[in-house]
Structure 1
Amino acid sequence: MEHWTAYWQATTSLNSFAEGEAATGYQGELAHFWQTQLADLPNDALIADLGTGNGALALLLAEQRLLQQKEWRILALDAAAIRPQAGLAQQPRYAELAATIRFYPQIAMEQLPFARKSMDLLVSQFALEYSKLELSLAEAVRVLKPGGRLVAIMHSHETALAKDSALALSVMTALNAGNGILDRIQQLLQLVTHLYAQQQLPEHNAGFIQANRQLLTQVKQYQQQLSVAELDWFQYLFAPFAALLFQPKAENNQQFLLLRQQLNYYRQRLADQQAACITPLRRQLIDQLMQQLGWQTSWQELRVERELFGLSLTSFAC
């Protein structure tokens, strides 16, 4: 969970795996999907956002509460040590809404801190599928009122996002391989530190020049093996490391360690996403688990701008 905590505490994005406008919350067709899930809720409904991250979905709920003049109580939890209020402090529009939401950091879906049959609606976007489903689904059933619903948008292995993430993950794995490109860069930077300690310039040292050439050869050979999409990922991931060698400095080795840790966190998040993706087998498992709990499930493909965005699950008591 450390890699998710590091991400949520560092990013200004409201939700994960999002860039541009999507990083500032849910818009357009996606927002419309969630707005339709709020119909027929009682005026004093109790709603919980499971795996809230920086609160994108919870904030959408709070905004709808305001627009519809409801008295919904909105709770939002995440297993990571989130602190969305701090991240939203510079965004007045969201900061005011966030103040009306009760956030629960470091709370897992597998053990919800809510009373039995207390919730009217549980929602989740790209979060429920990361949990231990046999436990989190049982908890959802426990806390939902009669007539309550669980609605979740989940990653699908068939989306462009999941396929692109798989490419990125393969490139990251290669970069981190033993005696791979990143190991070679680290060795070069350690040599730089040593040379400066000896009051020698790296660009005048035969050992550094030779090792640098060997690295460039290794990089070119690896690039030749990549598809166009993989090459784009490589160039994006490799660039900040390569910059450390363009102007070698004694302190660059410490910067390298920080960059490598960030890359490892990114790799772990992508690995989590790939493992969480809903495949036909995982979908069947969810159906079986909910059926055993006495609940029905309904699935649909969710498309945004005609592209498959994810799978939506709606579950309710039989």
Structure 2
Amino acid sequence: MISFFGVFIASFLSYTEFHFGQLLSLIMKHWSNYWTTSNTLNSFAESEASKGYTGAIKDYWFNVFSTLKPESRIVDIGCGNGALACLAAEYSEMHNLHFDIHGIDAADINPLQSLKSEKEVLKLLKQITFHPATPAEKLPFESKSIDMFISQFGFEYADFEQATIQCVNSLTENGTINIMAHHPASPISQDTEIGEHLLKNILHTSPLFLQVDLLLDIATQVKASGQYQSWKQNPYNQSISRTIKWILDTLKFQFNEDKHEAWLQDIFNRVIPVLQNLATEDPQKLRAHLAQQFKVLEEHRTRLEEQLKATITDTKINALEQQINGLGRSSQISPFTIDNRPFAWSISIL
């Protein structure tokens, strides 16, 4: 006879061992994992837009590139898989300017491998020299060797003060730094705050994953005992399944606003099929799949948390302006708007 309490404790220890034992590793590797597996140029676009910036954003950057001379040396900071660097390559190609384009990222990026199936994008990526595992605080460029630093949703993740010093020291006499950084009032920042709160609640406060993992653990043991043919009538199955249904209903009630819908549905789409397939698939494999889904969601939550910390507040803007003045440079800082809403900070260091 399986001891329910014993199985619960064993499952809890197993699951929390996975959760906390892997957390540090997730924090260190989540961006590298994202860029090497997402098949996207940037982290804030979906569908066709994931293949590069378009519309008002593209126009903004083309206007920035129009100030550069032929053969200018450009560095994209926090380049990810190269969305902004590709825009620079596209502009250079259009105007026969032969820019020398570099992309640096603290993550272990490999855009040429990650996007090898995207022929049009790959053509642009091959014009860029990428520097993986290269933080903005430790630039590999000589003093006064860079004509322009650019960054879209990347620079603010670095130590702003140290990265600014590094960039200014690397600029040519007339070189500039041009940044689009997260604005706290942007739709991206607001949606990020919603998603991070929801994921944190479900992954770290709600017992959803713990209870599903417990159910799969019991199912694995029942199958090993040769009693799986009566799994539907198993009292542990019936009891824990009722608990899981109650948890799901509670989460629907708790997160019932339109702003929660996409976030909650994504989680349910990862968990509910596991429960639906329990009667026909190996519970041990389903348990491994559940752990993988938890890992993916936790990496996503960590990225959202880091973005919220990186968002540029008015206090950070004031500190940046003072630092730039102290370095003998001037700055132009203003909100960049789309449809009359702040999308990002536009920051130019001259």
Question: Is the pair's TM-score, using the shorter chain for normalization, greater than 0.5?
Answer: yes
Looking at structure 2, the residues matched to 179 and 307 of structure 1 have their Cα atoms a distance apart, in angstroms, of 34
Residue 259 of structure 1: aligned partner? 293
Q: Give the partner amino acid of 1:230.
A: H
Deviates more, 1:100-109 or 1:234-243: 234-243
Out of 192, 204, 209, the residue aligned to residue 165 of structure 1 is 192
Report the TM-score when normalising by structure 1. Answer: 0.96
**CA deviation map 1:222-245 (0-9, x unaligned):** 321224122442122222112101
Deviates more, 1:237-246 or 1:224-233: 224-233
Looking at structure 2, the residues matched to 60 and 232 of structure 1 have their Cα atoms a distance apart, in angstroms, of 30
- State, as a whole percentage, how many aligned pairs show the same letter: 27
Residue 293 of structure 1: aligned partner? 327
Residue 15 of structure 1: aligned partner? 42
Query: Does structure 1 residue 241 correspond to structure 2 residue 235?
Result: no
Out of 87, 107, 126, the residue aligned to residue 60 of structure 1 is 87
The alignment partner of 2:42 has SS state of coil
Deviates more, 1:91-100 or 1:142-151: 91-100
Matches for 1:136-175 after TM superposition, within 5 Å: 136-175=163-202
Residue 129 of structure 1: aligned partner? 156
Residue 189 of structure 1: aligned partner? 216
Q: Give the partner amino acid of 1:103.
A: F
Matches for 1:196-211 after TM superposition, within 5 Å: 196-201=223-228, 202-211=231-240
For the 8 Å contact 1:302–1:308, the answer to whether it is kept is yes
For the 8 Å contact 1:120–1:145, the answer to whether it is kept is yes
For the 8 Å contact 1:14–1:54, the answer to whether it is kept is yes
**CA deviation map 1:127-151 (0-9, x unaligned):** 0011111110110111011111000
The offset of 1:203, in angstroms, is 1.7
For the 8 Å contact 1:223–1:231, the answer to whether it is kept is no
The alignment partner of 2:103 has SS state of strand
Looking at structure 2, the residues matched to 44 and 231 of structure 1 have their Cα atoms a distance apart, in angstroms, of 48
Looking at structure 1, the residues matched to 39 and 338 of structure 2 have their Cα atoms a distance apart, in angstroms, of 23
Matches for 1:109-124 after TM superposition, within 5 Å: 109-124=136-151
Residue 18 of structure 2: aligned partner? none
Looking at structure 2, the residues matched to 90 and 235 of structure 1 have their Cα atoms a distance apart, in angstroms, of 29
Matches for 1:63-142 after TM superposition, within 5 Å: 63-142=90-169
Out of 311, 315, 321, the residue aligned to residue 277 of structure 1 is 311
Report the TM-score when normalising by structure 2. Answer: 0.87
Q: Gaps (5+ residues) in structure 2?
A: 1-27
**CA deviation map 1:168-192 (0-9, x unaligned):** 1111111112562111111111112
Looking at structure 1, the residues matched to 249 and 67 of structure 2 have their Cα atoms a distance apart, in angstroms, of 60
Out of 237, 252, 272, the residue aligned to residue 223 of structure 1 is 252
Q: Give the partner amino acid of 1:57.
A: L
Looking at structure 1, the residues matched to 326 and 126 of structure 2 have their Cα atoms a distance apart, in angstroms, of 38
Q: Which has the higher helix share?
A: 2
Q: What RMSD in Å do the two structures reach over aligned CA positions?
A: 1.4
Structure 1 residues 79 and 302 mapped into 2: Cα distance closer, same or farther (>3 Å)? same
The alignment partner of 1:37 has SS state of helix
For the 8 Å contact 1:185–1:215, the answer to whether it is kept is yes
Consecutive aligned runs of 4 or more in structure 1 exceeding 3 Å deviation: none
Structure 1 residues 160 and 178 mapped into 2: Cα distance closer, same or farther (>3 Å)? closer
Looking at structure 2, the residues matched to 88 and 234 of structure 1 have their Cα atoms a distance apart, in angstroms, of 29
